[in-house]
Amino acid sequence: MRIEIAGKTDVGRKRKQNEDAYLVLKPPLQPRLSVDALLLVADGMGGHERGEVASGHVRDVFEAVFIEQYPEFLAAYTPESLEAALKTLYKESHSHLRSLSEELASSEDSREQMGTTLTVGLIAGDQLVLAHVGDSRAYLIRNEMIAQLTEDHTMAQLLIRAGKMTEEEAAKSRYSHALSQAIGASKRMSPDLAAYPLEPGDTLLLCTDGLTRYLEAADLMEAVQQHTPAAACEHLVELANQRGGRDNITVVIARVQADATAAAD
């Protein structure tokens, strides 16, 4: 399959610095190996520029692994092996950020915890392997349908699952953006891991909550259907800013298409 990928991040209209980070990587075409692309979005938190450090750290970790250790790290592909690899990277990033937070706390006399959301997608042939912690999101657009692949790790979502709050109540609740777990910022961290089959024409969209607090799923699908991935990223960020832009905004879009040689056959 051929993959067209684009990404964009924006500070928004109210924030002074951008604590979001994103990454889009495609390996060399030769030798052709199993993993075709990596997509990542992260939304940092912690104040005093720590959020920027946290999201930038996880981005750099995944970039280093994908570039420096590819193909050794990813060549032996199965969905299960990639899920295990992602879980290991999540745990290592979590441990490192907690240690860094403790060092900064002791040197700066501050108890603010450094952390970040982290949503990562690996596209390998006709498979998507997804890992997720926090309230950034991943969506799959197929034909005239859009599906949210991730569940928000927020206190509001926990209350919904416990039957103590409705979806409508959660949207207006102060718990809607209170994270139940994040890389580095929570004592325990357990990423959601899943694999999904991909079809030609599918589009994967990853984004931070600076986008989804202003846009509905229908807005995302419409942008993807009417624009190229690059133009859709530009359009969605602009739309989120028009509707408020109170947070940093990041979106990554990957469109999967049938390989030209396969189509010819």
Written as one string, the DSSP assignment of 133-156 is ESS-EEEEEETTEEEE-S---BHH
- Please report, for the chain, how many H helices and E strands are present, in that order: 8, 11
Q: In sequence order, what are the beta bridge partners of 108?
A: none
Quick one: DSSP state of residue 113?
P
> Taking 70 as the threshold, does the pLDDT of residue 111 lie above it?
no
227: domain range? 2-264
Alpha carbon distance 7, 39 (integer Å): 9
Give residue for tokens 């990639």: 82
Counting residues of the chain whose pLDDT is more than 70, the rounded percentage is: 89
- On the question of pLDDT at 262 being above 50, the answer is no
Six-digit token pair at 8?
């964009």
Determine the pLDDT at residue 30: 47
Amino acid, res. 114: M
- Mean per-residue pLDDT over the chain, rounded: 89
Closest CA to 229 of 15, 26, 12: 26
48, pLDDT greater than 60? no
For tokens 């939304």, name the residue: 43
The count of structural domains within the chain is 1
Higher pLDDT, 210 or 33: 210
| Euclidean distance between CA atoms 146 and 246, whole angstroms | 25
Give mean pLDDT, residues 183-206. Answer: 95
Q: Does residue 133 contact residue 118 with C-beta atoms inside 8 Å?
A: yes
DSSP letter assigned to residue 189: -
Mean pLDDT for 93-117 is 81
* Residue in the block written with tokens 């092996």: 81
- Quick one: tokens of 74? 């990813």
Report the predicted TM-score, pTM, of the whole model to 2 decimal places: 0.92
CATH of the domain at 130: 3.60.40.10
**Number of residues written out for the chain:** 265
pLDDT band (50, 70, 90) for residue 127: very high
